[in-house]
Amino acid sequence: MMNKTTVSTLFAATLLAAGFSASVSAHQAGDIIVRAGAVVVAPNESSDDVVTPDLGNLREFSVSNNTQLGLNFGYMLTDNFGLELLAATPFSHDVSLGGTKIAETKHLPPTLVAQYYFGDAQSTLRPYVGVGVNYTNFFDNEFTNDLGGKLTDLSLSNSWGVAAQIGLDYQVNKNWLVNASVWYAQISTDVKFNYHYKDAGVDKAAAVTIGTDINPWVYMVSVGYTF
């Protein structure tokens, strides 16, 4: 419900503000825009069930939210078209299985989008939409609960996927602005690990691969500066 409400609010603001203009000049061809603020990654995860030979079906993975410092860098190709790169300090997520935290992972999700800004160079409010590509690099993957030595050698594959955004800039003066934006990123990874168990008293290990979609909503509130 929160995801839908946030997206609907920004979309409504985009439509209402598309024609609003004032005397402050902003977002014109050649401008470089740097924004910094808080970014929340809220996974909309789903995965194959983890089915084990001795414990049965442990259900699917769940992934926690995380908030970090976000940075994005924009360049205006024209008064209305721009490019933007989203970056951030590494995100850290708890991974749970059957309601029990079993692991932690970190990732960096640089995302590059092409944007269209509504209004013109004199508009105080500049709503925009964007579409592009996301690359997610997972690292520092480790089990925090190995279920009594059953789980070892955790890894998550890196991911390429499409990304989309909607946002709104409010130009405070010639250089400073405030921003709110929502992103959706397609992130899919293979979670790999070894599962150890006994079969008729014999120690065995099975290599397990679980396809997992993270597909997060990303929310950012920031302050920006135009060069």
pLDDT band at 58 (very low <50, low <70, confident <90, very high): confident
Q: Encoding tokens for residue 40?
A: 């929340």
Q: For 7-50, what is each residue's pLDDT tens digit? A: 455 444 444 444 444 455 668 999 999 999 999 999 999 999 99
Contact 33, 76 (CB under 8 A): yes
Q: 């003066």: which residue's tokens?
A: 173
Q: For 119-146, what is each residue's pLDDT tens digit? A: 999 999 999 999 999 999 999 999 999 9
Query: For 193-212, what is the mean pLDDT?
Result: 92
Query: For 61-84, what is the mean pLDDT?
Result: 97
pLDDT band at 217 (very low <50, low <70, confident <90, very high): very high
At 201 the pLDDT is 87
pLDDT band at 55 (very low <50, low <70, confident <90, very high): confident
Strand partners for 42: 217
SS3 107: strand
| AA letter at 120 | D
At 74 the pLDDT is 97
Q: Where are the domains of the chain?
A: 2-226
The residue among 69, 66, 179 whose CA lies nearest residue 130 is 179
> CATH: 2.40.160.20, 3.40.50.970, 3.40.50.1860, 1.10.10.10. Which one for 2-226?
2.40.160.20
The residue among 137, 132, 138 whose CA lies nearest residue 86 is 132
Range of lowest pLDDT (76-85, 163-172, 199-208): 199-208
At 22 the pLDDT is 45
Query: For 200-213, what is the mean pLDDT?
Result: 92
Q: Containing H/E element for 207?
A: strand 202-213
* Rg, Å, the chain Cα set: 21
In Å, what is the CA distance from 172 to each residue of 158, 169, 178?
39, 9, 7
